[in-house]
Amino acid sequence: MPPTTRTPQQRALRNYAILAGCFIALNAAFFALSDWYYGGEADGIWQTRFEWLGFTVTLFVVAKAAQLKPREVGHGLAAALGLTLLGLGFAAIKHGMTPVLCATLLVLGTLLPLLSYYASTGSRPAWSFLISTCAVLALCLFFGAPKVRGQLGIGLWTALIFPGLFVIATVALIVIRRQFGAKPTSRTFATE
């Protein structure tokens, strides 16, 4: 029996079904595990579940958009996150936070939109620096999420949305690497 070829619409529908199944399974597992973790006590369990739902919905939607349009989402998300950091820098100044934090937020908030703009025009150095900056911020914010949670009085899953978005921006920018690289040659790794 010859293999059947699927149309692009059938493949897209299959991908959406897999994504929806993973989303439902992940949220159902969290619902059950959170009940086990809290020992059936209702104190704080529903807030945690809603924060988890917001975390997964946000990241799944943005990740799917990045899969469909990696160039636009990668550059746009990095620029939007940079502008958010810029706003947080001004808020940090207003609230009298430490000068190092204020300066870091202002510099990164200015740098990310500029790098996004130049990378979107085809600058390979801007693109590579943007990827490394987003990756480092994702890592730092991931490990800093408990501190952010404590300082802002928000849930951990809410604090983890920001590093998750930086991961998505990083991956989306890596996916478009061929637009910034050299022309492919006939030489491959298999012939070396």
Return the pLDDT at 151. 82
Domain count, the chain: 1
* Residue 3 resides in a domain: no
| Nearest in space to 181 (alpha carbons), one of 139, 137, 131 | 131
Q: At which residue do the structure tokens 């990756």 appear?
A: 135
Which residues constitute the domain of residue 98?
Answer: 8-191
Position 71 pLDDT exceeds 80: yes
Position 106 pLDDT exceeds 90: yes
Return the pLDDT at 110. 96
* Residue 160 resides in a domain: yes
* Residue 80 resides in a domain: yes
Position 114 pLDDT exceeds 80: yes
* Residue 1 resides in a domain: no
Position 153 pLDDT exceeds 70: yes
Output the CA torsion 48→146→110→120 (10° steps): -60
The radius of gyration of the chain from alpha carbons, rounded to an integer in Å, stands at: 20
Phi/psi-derived region of residue 177, left when phi > 0, alpha when psi is between -120 and 50, beta in every other case: alpha
User: For all residues of the chain together, what is the average pLDDT?
Assistant: 86
Give the pTM. Answer: 0.82
